[in-house]
């Protein structure tokens, strides 16, 4: 892969591929944050203006921290500097803007044979590319994780200072926030992150399949569902940009797969692909005809699929702080119905946090996590991490609390 950074998107990952034996398989052409929106719940002036577009108005690159060894990143670290232009066009540098390192991430896979009590355990290591962004009061730790089994994960760790307002002694938040200190109100709000994913799963032409888990229609007691326990997975290929606007669905455990319909897995007999999922999905609670929804209409859906267009990079428009919503992802998608099946496509995926602050978030907030993962789904012939051997204490330096003793993760 190729790592870069610009003033608006911050870290950009390009040309991701996976070497399987002698073959290099293409995965993703470009992955970057497209927009971040933080709408607040208080409808009264002046707080109804709190609708920050932290990528388009401030920039994840320009707001990058100078990372400090042993504080922001620990272990064996490689840093990248970043060069930007100021308002006068002069070059300035942010030292240590990107951190690259590896870290242990628990068990990758394990099995114990109950017949003879023999076990096999392999620990996971992940490659981490990260930056920290300070956007006014909040600090966002941004992480791109690459795992040994092919999994890609994007994670935001939000911390920093709550946005608060002062109330009179007899005033209450009115159901729009919470008191975190005497006369200090912290308002309800949401954090939305829209990721632009430009895939090339085994080639440039890809499709998106929506997967919904359904109860079997056959009633309990019938021949085809005697005990009533049957369920199945329904796969729907999104064929055009109208179908390509879709929301999450808890009732059907919905997720999506980016697939190449020209290549099939020899065993599962389904197109090779990567599934995208998240446990951090939230609806936009602002009215869909509100000002923030007009400017950030892309928040109305969890996932959008569009044909590739080199001029369509930012979901909120090129100059979102000057736009009323005329040049956004929602407008592009609805202005003309276009084919997205087995085309050079772009996937736009939105996740986030509905933040109802706690007293424990004040005066400085502990980290709150959100993100999404992409996993190979009938892409590899088998588990691609089978070539990773078990670790041992001489490698990971683990010891008993009261004595040193070497061991291995494979029992004999």
Can you give the residue ranges of every domain in the chain? 2-206+237-396
Q: Which CATH topology does 2-206+237-396 take?
A: Beta-galactosidase; Chain A, domain 5 (2.70.98)
For residue 393, what pLDDT is reported? Answer: 79
What is residue 397's predicted lDDT score, i.e. its pLDDT?
A: 79
DSSP for residue 58: I
Per-residue pLDDT at 412: 56
Pairing of strands 207-215, 78-85: unpaired
Catalytic-residue membership of 42: no
Phi-psi region of 175 (alpha: psi -120 to 50; beta: other; left: phi over 0): left
**What is the per-residue burial (b if ≥16 Cβ within 10 Å, else e) of 373-385?**
bbbbbbbbeeebb
Could you confirm whether 240 is annotated as catalytic? no
* Set 138, 140, 144, 349: catalytic member: 138
pLDDT of residue 87: 87
Q: What is the pLDDT of residue 401?
A: 84
Give the residues across from 110 on adjacent strands: 121
Residue 24, sorted as left (phi over 0), alpha (psi -120 to 50) or beta, turns out to be beta
For the chain, residues with pLDDT lower than 50 are: none
Q: Residue 122: how many CB atoms within 10 A of its CB?
A: 20
State the pLDDT at residue 264: 97
Catalytic residue among 40, 42, 54, 145: 54
* pLDDT reported for residue 395: 77
């Amino acid at each position: 892969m190729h790592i870069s950074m610009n003033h608006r998107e911050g870290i950009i990952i390009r040309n991701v591929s996976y070497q399987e034996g002698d073959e290099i398989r293409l995965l993703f052409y470009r992955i970057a944050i497209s927009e971040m929106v933080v709408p607040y719940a208080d409808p009264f002036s002046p707080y109804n203006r709190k609708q920050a577009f932290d990528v388009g108005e401030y920039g994840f690159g320009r707001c990058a921290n100078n990372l400090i060894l042993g504080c922001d990143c620990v272990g064996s670290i490689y840093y990248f500097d970043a060069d930007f232009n100021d308002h006068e066009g002069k070059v300035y540098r942010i030292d240590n803007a990107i951190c690259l390192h590896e870290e242990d991430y628990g068990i990758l896979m394990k099995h114990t044979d109950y017949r003879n009590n023999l076990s096999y355990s392999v620990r996971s290591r992940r490659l981490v590319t990260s930056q920290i962004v300070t956007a006014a009061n909040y600090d966002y730790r941004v992480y791109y994780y690459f795992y040994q089994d092919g999994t890609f994960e994007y994670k935001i760790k939000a911390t920093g200072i709550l946005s608060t307002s002062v109330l009179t002694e007899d005033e209450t938040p009115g159901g729009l926030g919470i008191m975190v200190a005497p006369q200090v109100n912290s308002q309800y709000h949401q954090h939305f992150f829209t990721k632009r994913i430009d895939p090339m799963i085994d080639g440039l032409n890809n499709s998106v399949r929506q997967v919904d888990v359904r109860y079997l229609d056959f009633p309990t007691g019938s021949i085809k569902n005697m005990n009533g326990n049957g369920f199945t997975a329904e796969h729907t290929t999104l064929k055009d940009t109208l179908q390509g606007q879709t929301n999450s669905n808890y009732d059907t455990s919905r997720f999506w797969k980016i697939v190449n319909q020209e290549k099939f897995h020899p065993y599962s007999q389904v197109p090779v692909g990567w599934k995208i999922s998240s446990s951090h999905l939230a609806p936009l609670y602002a009215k869909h005809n509100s000002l923030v929804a007009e400017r950030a209409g892309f928040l109305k859906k969890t996932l959008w699929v569009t044909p590739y267009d080199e001029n369509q990079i930012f979901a909120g428009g090129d100059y979102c702080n000057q736009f009323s919503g005329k040049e956004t992802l929602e407008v592009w998608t609805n202005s003309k119905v276009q084919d997205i099946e087995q085309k050079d496509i772009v996937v736009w995926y939105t996740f986030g946090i509905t933040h109802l602050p706690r007293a424990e978030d004040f005066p400085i907030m502990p980290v709150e996590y959100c993100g999404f993962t992409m996993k190979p789904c009938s892409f590899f012939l088998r588990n691609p991490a089978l070539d990773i051997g078990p670790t041992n204490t001489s490698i990971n330096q683990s010891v008993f609390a009261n004595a040193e003793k070497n061991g291995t993760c494979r029992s004999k």
